[in-house]
Amino acid sequence: MSAVLDVRGVVKAFGENVVLRGVDLAVDEHRVVALIGGSGSGKSTLLRCASLLEVVDDGQVLLDGEDITDPRVDADAVRRRLGVVFQAYNLFPHLSVLDNVTLAPVRVHGRSRSEAREEALGLLERIGLADKSGEYPDRLSGGQQQRVAIARALAVRPRVLLLDEITSALDPELVGEVLRLVREVAEQGMTIVMATHEMGFAKQVADTVCFLDRGVVLESGPPDQVLGDPVEARTRQFLSRIIDAGRL
């Protein structure tokens, strides 16, 4: 089985600050990869490189075998095949929930308005927010906003869903509903890469956990192994800090 997303030796620096020093990461179809690591370890940078929001300095990212970091590649066309959700400020505040979801299908994928609308309403129904389709994002709770952001990403039928700490900015009582949706989406077979601090969730839902440290994937494997019995001392250190913070 060939990987949907294949990150090979990616290097990325901001000036003097070398954030990624040769990251390798292969994500097979229908798999969920959880990206863990300390704050500033480069999780967001890696996801931004994979979604072509940053230009890599070296290495490659392959999407379905195609090198998308090749400068001759049409970056807009590549992004159309990806779904991305960030920590916050995902939804466009001047557009209704429905318009947020139909924007890309209509403007980017050239679907008809009525078709996009119908599909968007179906998605909103699925996430239990059909009654909010006419509302503006600021009338929704943070958890509802993130769920709409996931629905919007799914509306373009992406090959892979990239989630960057999508629950980190939420009040604790809103985290559950968002993670439940991610689990559902994963169970339906979506390929997912998610940077997260929710170790319990990673343990239950991820097929692979990757620990990012000092610009490389220091350790990766099944969650039970990486989270339960890590090989690397630095992974253990990181996890014990997380446990102290009460998140495992």
Partner 1 sequence: MFAVVAYLVVTSSPGWPRVQTTFFSLEVARDSFPSILRGLWLNVQVLLIAAVCVVVLGLGIAALRTLRGPAFAPLRFLATAYVDLFRGMPLIITLYLVGFGLPALRLQGIPTSYFVLGTVAIVLTYSAYVAEVFRAGIESVHPSQRAAARSLGLTHRQMMRIVVLPQAVRNVTPALLNDFVALQKDVGLISVLGAIDAVRAAQIYVGQTFNFTPYVVAGLLFVLLAVPTARIADAVSARARRRQQSGSTL
Ligand X SMILES: Nc1ncnc2c1ncn2[C@@H]1O[C@H](COP(=O)(O)OP(=O)(O)O)[C@@H](O)[C@H]1O
Binding site for partner 1 (CB under 8 A): 48, 51, 53, 76-77, 79-80, 82-84, 86-94, 103-104, 107-109, 138, 141-142, 145-146, 149, 152, 156, 169-170
Residue 167 interacts with Mg ion (CB under 5 A): yes or no: no
The size of the interface with ligand X (CB under 6 A), counted in residues, is: 11
Residue 45 interacts with ligand X (CB under 6 A): yes or no: yes
DSSP secondary structure letter of residue 233: H
Shortest-Cβ-distance residue relative to Mg ion: 44
Enter the tokens of residue 104: 């890309």
Q: How far is the CB of 198 from partner 1 (least distance, A)?
A: 17
| Exposure on the CB side of residue 123, measured as CA atoms within 13 A | 26
Q: Which does 103 bind (CB under 5 to 8 A by kind): partner 1, ligand X, Mg ion, none?
A: partner 1
Pick between residue 191 and residue 220 the one whose CB is nearest to partner 1: 191
Residue 41 interacts with ligand X (CB under 6 A): yes or no: yes
Nearest to 240 by CA among 212, 184, 199: 199
Mark residues 15-44: x for contact with Mg ion by CB under 5 A, - for none: -----------------------------x
Are 208 and 220 within 8 A, CB to CB? yes
- For the chain, the straight-line distance linking the first and the last C-alpha, in angstroms and rounded, comes to 32
Are 182 and 205 within 8 A, CB to CB? yes
Q: Which does 41 bind (CB under 5 to 8 A by kind): partner 1, Mg ion, ligand X, none?
A: ligand X
Q: How far apart are CA 181 and CA 129, in angstroms?
A: 12
What DSSP element (H or E) covers 45? helix 43-50
Q: How far apart are CA 211 and CA 114, in angstroms?
A: 44
The one among 31, 43, 152, 197 contacting ligand X by CB under 6 A:
43
- What residues make contact with Mg ion under the rule CB under 5 A? 44
